Amino acid sequence: MKAPSFAYARPQSLEETFDLLDRHGEGARLLAGGQSLIPSLNMRLSAPEVLVDINALPGMAEIRQDRGVLRIGALVRHTQIEKSEEVAKHAPLLAQAVRHVAHPAIRNRGTIGGSLALADPAAEYPACMVAMDATIVLAGRGGERLVKAVDFFKGLFETDRQPGEVLVAVEIPAQLKDERSVFLELTRRHGDYAIVGLAAFKGQETRFAFLNVGPKPFLARGAASKASVDEAKQALRAELNPTADLYNSAATKMHLAGVLMDRAWNSLST
């Protein structure tokens, strides 16, 4: 199938982008890497009147570390993350996770901002952001608004982003020397969306953020406070109520979440 017809705009500044979003309201859709949006148009799941291509916006395709914070611009492609020494050094969890995002062709175009704004429950980055306690940076007419990742993901493909706002960056506390993190997922084939995944971080606080067990990343708060892996798995069974999908029952997902918890616990403890 082909996409329905749409108008196309390529603003050169955020101000111009806000004007377009104001003018077209619900009829406008931001276009970043297009790896999720264009298939959805081709399948006629969505029919915006105008695509606002944000790829020419300045300053949004950079990765930089400053005073303990790694800032990744929304237009940074998955492949840039994969190759970045800054990411490998300061956000090793993300460096591990990106290798599980789709295939090279998609990683060449898809952006971190697109993935976070889309909030697919099976995507790797949202769970990583929750585990790393990252902050999402949104720009609107009134300036920038900062939202903790744990509050940003609201539900199935639903975020705290308000009409007229553009996700411009994500800010991640740089991982310290004595902190640990691990990303694990189970898939039928490498590159497929995960059946279940886990982004785990151990610092002053421990955070286990699961992906694809419900409509948004699931932060296992009860499990994180336990002293042994058996207690943690018991707490997980009490707090997690996974959603089944077309191929995997809730019981299967619960079992696999426990398997990943076991592996992550071992990895964070060694």
Ligand X SMILES: Cc1cc2nc3c(=O)[nH]c(=O)nc-3n(C[C@H](O)[C@H](O)[C@H](O)COP(=O)(O)OP(=O)(O)OC[C@H]3O[C@@H](n4cnc5c(N)ncnc54)[C@H](O)[C@@H]3O)c2cc1C
Backbone φ and ψ for 143, nearest 5 degrees, come out as 120, -160
111 near ligand X (CB under 6 A):
yes
Which positions from 142 through 171 interact with ligand X, judged by CB under 6 A? 161, 166-167
- Two structure tokens written together for 255: 């079992």
* Whole-number Å distance between alpha carbons of 72 and 169: 5
256 near ligand X (CB under 6 A):
no
197 near ligand X (CB under 6 A):
no
For ligand X, the binding residue among 21, 98, 101, 128 (CB under 6 A) is: 101
Residues 7-46, mask of contacts with ligand X (x by CB under 6 A): ----------------------xxxxxxxxx-x-------
Backbone φ and ψ for 112, nearest 5 degrees, come out as -70, -40
Which residue stretches of 91-137 are H helix? 92-98, 104-109, 112-118, 124-131
Closest approach of Cβ 23 to ligand X, in Å? Answer: 16
3-class SS of residue 150: helix
Residue 115 or 175 having the CB closest to ligand X: 115
- CA torsion 229-223-201-128 (nearest 10°) is 130
- Two structure tokens written together for 173: 């506390």
Backbone φ and ψ for 256, nearest 5 degrees, come out as -65, -35
119 near ligand X (CB under 6 A):
no
102 near ligand X (CB under 6 A):
yes
Residue 101 or 213 having the CB closest to ligand X: 101
- Residues found near ligand X in the complex (CB under 6 A): 29-37, 39, 54, 74, 101-102, 106, 110-111, 113-115, 117-118, 123-124, 161, 166-167, 193
